[in-house]
Structure formats: C-alpha cells, structure tokens
Chains A and B, each alone.
Chain A
Amino acid sequence: MEFPLTQLDRAPASDVTTPGRGRTLDRVFGGASYGAGLLVLGVLALILLSTTWEALPAFQHSGFDFIFGQRWAPNNPDLPLFGTLTFLYGTAVSSLLALLIAVPVSIGIALFLTELAPRWLRVPAVTVIDLLAAVPSVVFGLVGILVIAPAALPLYQWIHDLVVNVPVLGSVFGPAVNGNTFATAGVILAVMVIPIITSISREVFDTVPVADKQAAYALGATRWEMIKGAVFPHSFAGLVGAAMLGLGRAMGETIAVTLVIGGSTQIAANLFASGNSMAAVIAQQWGEASGLHTSALIGIGVVLFAMTVLVNYSARVIVRRAEIRMKGATA
C-alpha cells in the first residue's frame, strides 16, 4: 500500500499511537473492559444465587405467605411464621413518601442552580448539596431520633386534630403517640436522597440545548414558560432516572430508617403510626438469629433485591419510551 503522502495526510507527530502494537493493545483493552463488565454481572448473579440458596429453607417453609403473610413470629414453638408483607409495606410507604417530598424539592433546587442562581452562588451551593450526600446515614438517623422525632410530635398531633373529622385524611394523618413514625422515616429519607436527585437533575438540565431555550424566549415565553416548554420536555427521561436512583437508595437505606421508623410489625394507613422496613428488620434481628430465622432474614434480602431490580427495570422502560417520544419530536 504505497501512497505518496501529502503533508496533510501525515499523522502529526505525537505519542497517541504506537505503530505496530496498536492492534494488540486494542485487543487487550477490549478484553479487559469486557471482563470488567462481565464481572459485575457475575458478582450480581453470584449474590442472587447464594442468597436465594441460603433463603430456600424459609421460602419452602412459608411458601407464598413469605410475601403475603402479615405475621412475623420466629419464636412460635410449633410453627414459626415468616410473613414479610408488613415490612414490604413499611419500605414502600417510607420510600414513596421520601420521593414525594424529595422530587419537587430537588427539581426546584436544580432549576434554581441552572436557571436562576447568580453565577457566584452556584459553586458554593453545589458543594453544600454534594456535602449532604457525604453525611453518613447513621448521622441522619441520630438527628432523626434525637431532634426531628421529638420536635415533629406536636406537629403530627396538630395535623391530626386539624383533619380528624375528614374521612380519608383523618385516618392517613391519624393519632401519634411519639415521633417514631412512617412520616419521620419518610422525611429523613427525603433529606438523604435530595442530594442524589438534585445533582442528576442539575446535570440533566445542563444538557438542554441553549438554542431550545433561546427559541422559547424568542417566541415571547416568560422564564417559567421557557422551563415548561423547553427544559422539562427535554429532560423528562433524565428526571425519571434521577427519581428512580433516589428511590433505590431510599428502599435500601437501613440504619437511619431503623432508628426512626418505630419497629412495629403492622400495616397501618396512619402515616403517624410506627412500622418497620425490610432492610431494618434484617439489621435488627441478624445478630441473634439462627436456623430458619436466619434463612428468613436472608429471604427478606432476596425480596428487597428483586424489588430494587424491578424498580430499576421499570424506570429504564419509562426512560426508553420517553426517549423515543423525544427523538420523534426532534426529528
């Protein structure tokens, strides 16, 4: 392959390429990253397999009651009962509540940082929010049980008195005896997931093309109309992803929830009642468990794992659909 090279065709002298060995290195690199990718899958599969294996005795013992049963009585002498529905409920309620609080707040913060905040404020504000993500969760739990729970009790009672005669609200905001409740757990979890949702939302908003925004302004849009018309449609998929990451974090959070959720085994519509979450139960009872009880606790872990995977998968489906719609719109 002899071609006379012009000046332009000649590769500029640099050490980016290594003549002759490029191919081999390429293959090595390709293999290494392939391996890294497969390793993740392998580890995940191993976790799933080994935990399911360990949990099998409990699954066989309880059958469908493991998920749909409401009684958790490992000490029952004749027939130990392992029904985890109450813990499933606690996990779902506390993390959904957290999402309900955290998503609007996080999107607000992210919009403020990308669209409204003066330039000098952005960097310090972002640093502070990222710092929030670095606070260990046990600290959140301690703040929750020592500060928020006692302080929230009068608030809960006030809200309850306010709506006591309203049909549905009266039972959702029912009576509270102390601050260890689903609601407190939700609030603490919200504070914990806000940094995650905020920082992803911020990055998503940053990707909105300036041209889109300028176009909206050119059509006479106000700032809010511009955000509604140009920023949100472009970032919907990313925001769903951010919220789902937050949800995953909230569902798996253990120690902070353990400290503030109250440790009751019940399904109550009352947000001001106590409950328990899956992760919390595992952490609480692991130390003294043995035999079938241990296996049931691992089983809770398997169910939680499956739930997280399901949530993430459905998030991905939502995101993909939204992306297709977006691409249709831009094409």
Chain B
Amino acid sequence: MTVNVRGKVLPLLAASALALGVAACGGGDSADDAGNTGTSDLSGELTASGASFPDAYYQVAIEAYAEVAPEVVINYNSTGSGTGKKEFGEGLTDFAGTDSLVGDDDPVEPGSFLYVPTVAAPITVSYNLPGVEGLQLGQETLAQIFQGDIETWNDPAIAEANPDAELPDTPITIAHRSDGSGTTTNFTKFLDEATESWELGSGDVVEWPSDSQGGEKNTGVASIIQQTEGAIGYVDLADATGSELVFAAVENADGEFVMPSIAGTTAGLEGAEVAEDLSYNPLNAAGADAYPITAPTYILVRTSYEDPQTAELVKAFLTWLLTDGQALAEDEFFAPLPDSLAEQALAQLDKIQS
C-alpha cells in the first residue's frame, strides 16, 4: 500500500513545490468554504507512521481525503506504535499513530506533543470449538484461561457461565500476538485492571505460558485459531470477522455478557473517563451495553511545527478525520468517537501553534 502511495508522490512533489508559494499565501483565508476549512485549496505532503492497528481505517480515510483535498499527499506507514513514536520523536514524520501513550522510554519530549483520539475498536476473544457457539466468559475466567490456569474447555469455571453448552475436554491452546502489539497492550491491560487472577502484567510483549502459540499480526493469530481445535485468542473485530471466527461474549463492569460490536464499543467510549490531555481508558468502562475490551488509538501531533504550512495541513486533515472522516470508520470495523469526545479532540487541534 505504501509503495502505491509513494508512486504518486514523486510526480506530485514537483507540482506541490510549485503550489507551495501560492498555498502559503492562500492558506489562511480559506475558512469560508462550507463547513470545512477549505481543504481543496491546500497542497503539500504529510508523512506519518505508527500503529498498525488503525492502519486499515487510516488508509481508507486518506484515500477519501484525497477527493476532498486532491493536492494533499499523505503517507501513513504502518510501522507499529513504537517505531511510530520513535520516528516522530526524531522529527522524521509530521504526525504519528499510536495505540499506547508516550512513556518514559519513548524518545518523544514531554510537552512537545498532543494526543488526538481518532477511533476505537473492540478486541474480540475468538475461539475454535466445533459445536459450541455463544460462549460466555467471565472476567476472572478469561484471565485464568489466558495465563494457563484453566487447561481444558470443560473446566467448571467455564461450564458455570455456560450451562447450556456441551463443553468437550479438548485442551485449550492459547493464541497470542508474537509481534509487539498495541492489541496485546490493551488486552493485557484489561485483564490486569479488571481481574484479580491476572499475574502476567501488561505490555506489548507479555511472557505468555510457554506452550501458548504466537501469530504474526491479527491475521496470524486468527489463522492459529482457525487451524487449531481448542484454540482461544484475542483478535481485533475486523480480522476476526474477516476470518469468520466465532467470538465469545465477555463479562463487562456491570456483570453483563456482551458480544463485541461497534455499538458496544461506542457505548464503552461514552462511559470512559477522559483525562485532561485527552488520553482515555475505555477498558472495562461502565454501562450495561459497553463491551469491556476496547482499544483506543491516537494520533500524536506537535504542539508547534516549524513550517506553518505543515501545521495547516495537519490541522486540516485531522479536522476532517474527526468530522466527515468518522463516518468511514464503521465499514472498517472501527467505532467512531462519541460526539463529546470528538468535540474535545477538535478543541485539542486549536492548541497547535504554527
């Protein structure tokens, strides 16, 4: 995908170089364009890299944005959040996508960036157990399964929540991400925060039980689950649906068993507490309909850009992403932000100095 976009960049570079002078003058007075900030007048190039989790949505959004602002070329390279933050910190990119917050280890200077939440997506607990559908898993049970305390499917803890299911004595094979992943971070953070049993901590690489299996990216985990009778794993909704996996209903904070869905995710976002810097934690959020395992994702932008042109482009793109762009999310199995959060995110963009 990146290669495709790059192909377009070179010829456009020449054009945008010419247009630069014009746009720099015309950038400010384009706000009279209906609703949006006159994006069609903008031209230039933005490079970005980071989280692969929202990549599918970002690519679709960037493609759609090209129709709104044909002179703007945006490259989003899905390198993973860690690399994204690193490249952003080194000034190689104009904005970065990340699933995790900026930590002490990350080479990004505190205070030099802002979080802009974009979309969120549910992480499913998918399994392969022929003949068993609509499995319900309690939070503690989930933790015990994923750290290897529960070893077979007919364990009393599972049976208790599923009185109607005929559970076989198949051994449980845990499928997890072998690559460092924000999906792992969010899934383990949920288990860590919500349950007492969980002892493996959280992070983008976790020390899973030794006989568990790792798959590359969501698709790798999905294929392990597909190919292994008795497997259980965590996969984002888009890939779980694409691979036709069966997923379990997970117990939420209110004690209800909820199937992963876009509606359930947005319900979870509404119940989440948003911090002042707009980082928020939708995991195990309150609300009867809220699906408890929801991964947020952010775009990091600089508080000030050296080039006012770049600041203008970033603002325009993100403004579009948080308004018209939100409608594209659902088709890619991502949940749009609830209105309140989207408004806060838009307000965040005003803090960018140019």
Contacts and interface: CB of A to CB of B under 8 A. Distances in A.
B82 A259 contact: no
Interface stretch (A25-33, A91-99, A172-180, A318-326): A172-180
Nearest to A72: B207
Contacts of A81: 207
Interface stretch (A129-137, A226-234, A286-294, A304-312): A286-294
Contact of A288 (B188, B205, B216): B205
A150 interface: yes
Contacts of B54: none
Contact of B103 (A145, A178, A290): A290
Contact of A285 (B85, B86, B106, B179): B179
Contact of A274 (B82, B106, B211, B220): B211
B46 to A, nearest CB: 21
A149 interface: yes
A183 B226 CA distance: 20
Interface string A248-286: 000000000011001111101000011010001000111
A71 interface: yes
A198 B156 CA distance: 56
A274 B229 CA distance: 15
A155 interface: no
Interface string B206-234: 11101111111000100110011111000
B205 A285 contact: yes
Contacts of A210: none
A288 B204 contact: yes
Contact of B214 (A73, A145, A263, A268): A263
A285 B86 CA distance: 15
A37 interface: no
B227 A178 contact: yes
Nearest to B214: A263
Contacts, number: 118
The binding surface of chain A is classed by DSSP as loop
A291 to B, nearest CB: 4
Contacts of B230: 177
Contact of B224 (A178, A265, A268, A290): A178
B206 A264 contact: no
B208 A265 contact: yes
Contacts of A75: 188, 201-207
Interface of B: 52, 79-83, 85-86, 103, 105-107, 171, 173, 176, 178-182, 188, 201-208, 210-216, 220, 223-224, 227-231
Given A75-B202, A262-B214, A287-B52, 19 more contacts: A71-B207, A73-B201, A74-B203, A74-B205, A75-B204, A75-B207, A86-B210, A177-B171, A180-B227, A263-B213, A264-B212, A264-B213, A264-B214, A265-B207, A265-B210, A276-B214, A285-B179, A286-B83, A287-B179
7 closest pairs, A vs B, by CB? A263-B214, A75-B203, A287-B80, A288-B180, A263-B178, A73-B207, A266-B210
8 contacts: A75-B205, A77-B201, A86-B210, A178-B213, A266-B210, A276-B178, A287-B52, A288-B204
Interface of A: 71-77, 81, 86, 145, 149-150, 153, 177-180, 258-259, 262-266, 268, 273-274, 276, 280, 284-293
